[in-house]
Structure 1
Amino acid sequence: MKLTPNYYRDRVCLNVLAGSKDNARAIYEAAEGHVLVGVLSKNYADVESAVADMQEYAVLIENALSVGLGAGDPRQSQMVSLISQRVQPQHVNQVFTGVGTSRALLGQGQTIVNGLVSPTGHPGHVKISTGPLSAGLPDAIVPIETAIAMLKDMGGSSVKYFPMGGLKNRDEYEYVARACAEHDFWLEPTGGIDLENFEPIVEIALQAGVKKVIPHIYSSIIDSTTGNTRPQDVKTLLESVKSLLA
């Protein structure tokens, strides 16, 4: 499958969830290929069924597949790594402690592997204890610069900053964006992003100098009746990106 993704040439690439294979194809077309389409490991009973289904998704969208945890669930960390080993997607979502496993099992450096870190209420510091065991213990809080270095040590590609709550933690987010720019690392803002706050959230990262931004926009653009992401909303987001980069 194609492993040279559109987002290598994009400064901003959308990440949205697919509710079905038809929805995935519609999303990909609406975004003109500038998107990573999320499919959640949490929705499958086992690795085998997930691999079989995600391979079908990948064929429909030129492998612009993002293997997801499901609301950052650390219990899905191992499953995500095992799925990704076989599917070889363009993008993998991981908790902080799962990054090294995913990169090793992928066996290549092209796939983007993010590492989940969380706000702490203190600009400049992030929570890295987001793994299956560590998430249930007292918070491990480190400077964002240290977190980035550790992610690089493990073969990570980007910071997944979650849960942001939109612009609730603006000061913290701005600090993270500056750190990612300074240390040449990608940034994936996630949590509470909608059509109203999308532009300022992306703009903060771009103005800080982040080279690649992958905003995750989930529930706010999903039709609650069908469970599908609305392609028209994806088109709206793409137009916002074009405006920001003009």
Structure 2
Amino acid sequence: MNKRPNFYKDRVALNILAGSVNNAIDCYQAANGYAVLGVLTNNYSSDETAIEDMKLYQDAINNAISIGLGAGDPNQSEMVKRVSQLLHPQHINQVFTGVGKTREILAQDETFINCLVSPTGKIGLVNIATGPLSSTAPSAEVPIESAIAIIKDMGGSSIKFFPMKGLEHEDEYRIVAQACAKNNFNLEPTGGIDINNFETILKIALEAGVPKVIPHIYSSIIDKKTGLTKSKDVQILFNIVQKLLG
């Protein structure tokens, strides 16, 4: 892996999509390096094309890429694992059942691997059935603290709480944040986050005491005409981060 960028250095890092290498550079600079740029495996027809393209992103932004599934698609889990084995990015998105395999195949503990768990509508319980087969089975609802312990056992770095639908699951999210803080674990709120609700969502996690928060802000800051993330919006988000961190 390359020298660790700012992504590792503070309590908050943004996770935003990159529509091109130049777009990734612009957004990375707008966040002063406190970001990872998402590149989604479901945009590629093969491992080879994904690896070739993602290497360009790695070289351009100090390896601060986040290899993604694409809308939490469990069927991308194996491709994420295979591509990550060769690239060793700074950040990886995985479903619950893919975390252990991915950590093992990396054979290092530096890369951040998140673990997708979903809201259940029940405070204190999360759904861990997010894998290729389990996502089609009945929901597997477990206490949030049990989920955190299992993720740690598998070598995961954080909980990706998705889909949050903005603040629709706020009460559940608050308990997840408190559990992460209590267990010294990291949190990645994801789904429906925009410039209007970003501060509230981030503030909840910080006030709970979560050690590291990585909010995912995707479609809401993408220019619909170009398909590129708007670097000006990234700057707005980064300014909010700086304000909350003091």
> TM bucket by the smaller chain?
over 0.9
- Alignment of 1:50 onto 2:50: yes
Are the counterparts in 1 of residues 177 and 208 from structure 2 also a CA contact under 8 Å? yes
Q: Deviations over 1:83-125 (max 9, x none)?
A: 0000110000000110011111111000000000000000100
Change (3 A) 1:3 1:148: farther
Q: Is the 8 A contact 1:3 1:110 kept in 2?
A: no
Deviation of the 1:34 alpha carbon = 0.6
Paired position in structure 2 for 1:195: 195
Q: In structure 2, what is the equivalent of residue 73 of structure 1?
A: 73
Residue pairs, 1:126-165, within 5 angstroms: 126-165=126-165
Q: Which residue of 1 aligns with 2:171?
A: 171
The 2-side partners of 1:55 and 1:225 are apart by 26
Paired residue secondary structure (1:118): strand
Instruction: Determine if contact 1:164/1:192 at 8 Å carries over to the other structure.
Output: yes
Q: Distance in 1 between matches of 2:16 and 2:66?
A: 9
1:51 deviates by 0.8
Q: Under a length normalisation based on structure 1, what TM-score does the superposition of the two structures give?
A: 0.99
Deviation at 1:5, TM superposition (A): 3.4
The letter for the 1-side match of 2:206 is: L
- Aligned positions, number: 246
Distance 2:99 2:236 in 1: 32
Q: Supply the RMSD in Å over aligned alpha carbons.
A: 0.7
Distance (Å, rounded) in 2 between the aligned partners of 1:218 and 1:227: 11
Match in the other structure for 2:100: 100
Q: Which residue of structure 1 aligns with residue 222 of structure 2?
A: 222
C-alpha contact 1:95 1:117 (8 A) present in aligned 2: yes
Tell me if 1:117 matches 2:123. Answer: no
Partner AA of 2:57 in structure 1: Y
Query: What is the one-letter code of the residue matched to 1:97?
Result: T
Residue 183 of structure 1 aligns to which amino acid in structure 2? N
Match of 1:185 in 2: 185
SS of residue in 2 equivalent to 1:192: coil
Distance in structure 2 (CA, Å) of the matches to 1:22 and 1:229? 11
Letter paired with 1:164: M
Identity percentage over the alignment? 59
1:140-167 per-position Cα deviation (integer Å, ceiling 9, x unaligned): 0100000000100100000000000011
* Helix, strand or coil at the partner of 2:217: coil
Query: Runs in 1 of length 4+ with deviation above 3 angstroms?
Result: none
Could you tell me which residue of structure 2 aligns to residue 236 of structure 1?
A: 236
Gaps of 5+ in 1: none
Letter in 2 for 1:53: D
Query: Quick one: distance in 1 between partners of 2:105 and 2:51?
Result: 14
**CA positional deviation for 1:48:** 1.1
For 2:64, the aligned partner's letter is A
What TM-score, normalized to structure 2? 0.99
**C-alpha distance in structure 1 between counterparts of 2:224 and 2:95, whole Å:** 27
**Structure 2 counterpart SS, 1:39:** strand
Which residue is equivalent to 1:11? Answer: 11
1:205 and 2:243 are equivalent in the alignment: no
Structure 2: give runs of 5+ residues left out of the alignment. Answer: none
Shift, 1:3, TM fit: 4.8
Separation in structure 2 between the aligned mates of residue 49 and residue 72 of structure 1, nearest angstrom? 21
Counterpart residue identity of residue 21, structure 1: V
C-alpha distance in structure 2 between counterparts of 1:7 and 1:154, whole Å: 23
- One-letter code aligned to 1:27: C
Question: Any conservation in 1 of the 2:7–2:64 contact (CA below 8 Å)?
Answer: no
